[in-house]
Amino acid sequence: MISYNATAQKQPLNISGTVMEEVNKNPIPFATVIVFDTDTNQSVTGTTTDEGGKFNITTDALNFYIEISFIGFETLKLTTFNIEKNQLDLGALYLIQVTEALDEVEIRAEKSNVEFRLDKRVFNVGKDISSTGMGALEVLNNVPSVTVSIEGEVSLRGKSGVQILIDGKPSILADDPSNTLGTITAEMIEKIEVITNPSAKYDAEGTAGILNIVLKKDEKKGLNGSISLNTGIPDNHSVGVSLNRRTEHFNLFAQLGVGYRSLPRDSKNSNQDRINNTTVNSEGTAYRNENFYNIILGTDYYINPLNVITLSGNFAYEIEDQPSTTDFSSFEPSSVLVSQWQRKESTEATNPKWQYELQYKREFKDNEDHTLLFSTQGRFFGKDQESEFVITPVFGDDDFNDQQTETQFQQADYTFKLDYNKPFSEKVNMELGSQYVINDVGNDYTVRDLIDGEWITNPDLTNNFEYNQKVFGIYGTGSYEGEAWGIKAGLRIEMTDLKTELTNTNEKNNQNYTDYFPSAHISYKFDKAISLAGGYSRRIFRPRLWDLNPFFNFRNNYNIRTGNPNLEPEYTDSYEITSIFAFNKISFNTGVYHLYTTDVVERITYFEDNVSITTPENIGTSNTTGMEVNFKYRPSKWLTFNGDFNYSYFIRNGEFEDQSFDFNGDKWSARLTGKFNLPADFELELTGNHQSGFQTVQSEVSALTFADLGVRKKIAKGKLVINFAIRDVFKSRISESVIDQPEYYLYTWNTRGRFFTLGLSYGFGKGEAMTYSGSRR
């Protein structure tokens, strides 16, 4: 071995150089440079290269050699030097890529696999998926417990409302997955994290679960995009364009959408007064016709491999027309028809919406999971609505007044978050963070009656409701995860300041409270395929605006819904034990859970003069114990089954206005989806759903069974896709309930009917063909 012996050296030696790739001459950031003692072969000092591949290091060693290394490259060893005046300039140093090692990595990653982590499961995307040209939604559909319908609806363990993150950050791209994830393909995805029981790190408000899509750091180049055309019966027509341009430092994305849709709803109601032996029946159809326009613009700016800033915005505008026609019949004792009339609604509204997000994420050199994330988000929704209700007598001489309503609504929401994650080792991790949320709402609601040809404001039904809620939260978690055992515990503290006011009557309700939300997880891995996990978390349901606002819905003025400004939050302690099995062709989860809820929010109906008024109230406690099973089975390449089953037994205890609401009951639901890969690149999807009947504090809700069907045809290796779907094939998705009391009887029936949709989508670049549905946010 040749080394430099600097026996005459009296000052420290300064060593510098630049590390680069041999093939493309690009600099290599964060390469390791170590100075070794020649006699002992022990390291003396070391450093890493900066973003430009440069390094500078000082040593007092007299007899040394240098090694330079980076993952995926051969280690470079330097033993001969030319030193002048205590300066050693090594110049450009080229590392050779290790092709053999890369081949080995590809073999190990040939097949996608699932890792069981303490509080989540990690689906690593292997070559079997990344090389097929799949899109992000198709990759999600390969993840155990995740189901994506042919129309792009994502559900986790059979539940919708899943929060989707990209690289651990909320993203406008994930707000409507079927619209915007079309620009992300399988080869860009490194892994997908599945979180079914969120820890104290996440909001204490309930969620169906979280999916985090982690992108590869080297898959950020290229132009991706998709164009789609949609049509349907009832009217559902749209055009959408999605673009995504990735460069070394920028990720630019944009989406434009425009369309028209009509959402009909048929309803029947019967109100029977058993004291006076009178009945009012109603039957009608209501529509929500909308023209909508939507634009999304945003960019990720990669300052360097460790720092990224994201800025994005979304603006949407909707023009609504809501016509409805309801026929009423009034009966006296012995079912004698007294009168008939028709009530027609004409409603027009405009809805401006905007949203912005600014995020900064920093990774640290010591560990890719050592991160700091700051984000701020703003949302605004406005509604300027006018309605007129005209009464046309058909039979009898009852005198009814025409009515008008006017609504001016504005809602602004702001969220500020700071999250810090610090791994102390491969087994020990810490998370710290805070969040501040502001909700500011105003709803000015006016009702007018036509009396003697003049519109007169009804002071009993007119109000201006102001709602302001601020929630500040801080959290901390710590975890240990070994080869078999793992444990994680955390605590979240949230301080809520809620103010509501009816300005017309000066009615105020101020609530200020602090809550503690602990969480705990424990897991044990029997092997790579079988895992057992237990978890506990405390959750909260805060009454939303429409739960608190005592507005009146006049579409059917014999069946009115209103809010309760005195409503308090409900709290749930959630316990669960789950077992997870993942084998070659089948994966399934089984679990048992128990939920204990206090101050349960229930909707209570009051009845007087054949008018039912439904409002939410806090009533007692609920103990719910249940079991859940879901599975994914792929017996062959052309056939896949997804199934979910949930059964729960509940005990309700409560008293309200001297009436006992103690009762027991149960309910269950099941879903089975079959996906068939047919010849000529056709795909068929059939889904059957059943929800059992169940009891609430006042009503009996009927069971319902319905089916959906979808067909997809891929052309040009999936770049062009044709979708056809039928929702509620047999028109059996009917919501039906009965309230049977000694003083009155109420029957309610609703359905949206059968929907047909047809879509044509084309993806270019690395983009996947997708469907722009323009779904409501």
Report pLDDT for 652: 92
First to last CA, the chain: 69
pLDDT beneath 50, residues of the chain: 1-9, 99-110, 131-133, 178-179, 218-220, 767-777
Domain 109-219, architecture per CATH = Beta Complex (2.170)
Nearest Cα residue to 167 out of 203, 191, 142, 144? 191
Question: How far apart, in whole angstroms, are the C-alpha atoms of residue 270 and residue 742?
Answer: 16
Question: How far apart, in whole angstroms, are the C-alpha atoms of residue 274 and residue 458?
Answer: 30
Right CATH number for 4-99 from 2.60.40.10, 3.30.70.20, 2.40.50.140, 3.30.1360.120? Answer: 2.60.40.10
Report pLDDT for 183: 54
Name 139's Cβ contacts closer than 8 Å, sequence gap at least 6: 125, 129, 186, 189, 192
Encode 202-237 in three state secondary structure: CCCECCCCEEEEEECCCCCCEEEEEEEEEEEECCEE
Name 270's Cβ contacts closer than 8 Å, sequence gap at least 6: 279, 280, 281, 282, 745, 746, 747
193-204 pLDDT per residue, tens: 888 778 888 888
593-642 pLDDT per residue, tens: 899 999 999 889 989 888 888 999 999 999 999 998 888 888 888 898 88
For residues 697 and 652, is the Cβ–Cβ distance under 8 A?
A: yes
Nearest Cα residue to 156 out of 540, 642, 483, 529? 642
Question: How far apart, in whole angstroms, are the C-alpha atoms of residue 212 and residue 175?
Answer: 13
The structure's pTM equals 0.74
CA dihedral 140, 141, 142, 144 (to 10 degrees): 90
Identify any residues that bridge with 489 across adjacent strands, giving them in sequence order.
Answer: 478, 520
Using DSSP, how many helices (H) and how many strands (E) does the chain show?
5, 49
Report pLDDT for 4: 44
The tokens 């409302």 sit on which residue? 161
Name 497's Cβ contacts closer than 8 Å, sequence gap at least 6: 469, 470, 471, 511, 512
Q: Which regions of 365-427 does DSSP assign to beta strands (E)?
A: 367-395, 403-423
Question: How far apart, in whole angstroms, are the C-alpha atoms of residue 558 and residue 523?
Answer: 54
Report pLDDT for 765: 66
What is the identity of the amino acid at 229? L
Identify any residues that bridge with 250 across adjacent strands, giving them in sequence order.
Answer: 301
Encode 718-776 in three state secondary structure: CCEEEEEEEECCCCCCEEEEEEECCCEEEEEEEECCCEEEEEEEEEEECCCCCCCCCCC
Report pLDDT for 184: 67
Per-domain boundaries in the chain = 4-99, 109-219, 253-747
Question: With b meaning 16 or more CB within 10 Å and e meaning fewer, what string describes 239-251?
Answer: ebebbbbbeeeeb
Report pLDDT for 102: 33
Angle at CA of residue 138, ends 132 and 141, nearest 5°? 125
Q: Does domain 253-747 sit in CATH 3.40.190.10?
A: no
Report in angstroms the alpha-carbon separations of 170 from 211, 376, 533: 11, 10, 27
